[in-house]
Amino acid sequence: MTFSEFKKLLIDAEITLPKFSKLLKVSEKNLQSYKQKGEVPNAIAVAAACFATMHRAGLDYRAVAEELNLEYKKKKGAGFAKKHPKKKEESK
């Protein structure tokens, strides 16, 4: 799905990008980066399409998403490890 199609779905669901990111517990910055890439990931596209469909049907998608008790994911991996100060080697 293109980013512009994604934005149209958000409009259909009557939700802004910042509120969408908070509801799904994903970084708004990540969502904005899809604009440059031109496409959004499948999972994000499905969520936006479901929200728009539910809204048109008069269903409260916000309550459904909130019941999931989603949490922000912490970055993991080699580049995200906590940095510890180097220990000075003792003189012999």
For 8-40, what is each residue's pLDDT tens digit?
Answer: 999 999 999 999 999 999 999 999 999 999 999
DSSP SS3 for 89? coil
Distance from C-alpha of 1 to C-alpha of 71, rounded to nearest angstrom: 25
Residue 51 burial by CB count (10 A; 0-12/13-18/19+): exposed, middle or buried? buried
In this predicted structure, the answer to whether residue 90 has a pLDDT above a threshold of 60 is: no
DSSP state of 91: P
What residues does each domain of the chain span?
3-80
Whole-angstrom distance, CA of residue 49 vs CA of residue 59: 13
Q: What is the pLDDT of residues 53-83, one digit of tens each?
A: 999 999 999 999 999 999 988 777 666 556 5
Q: Write down the pTM of the prediction.
A: 0.76
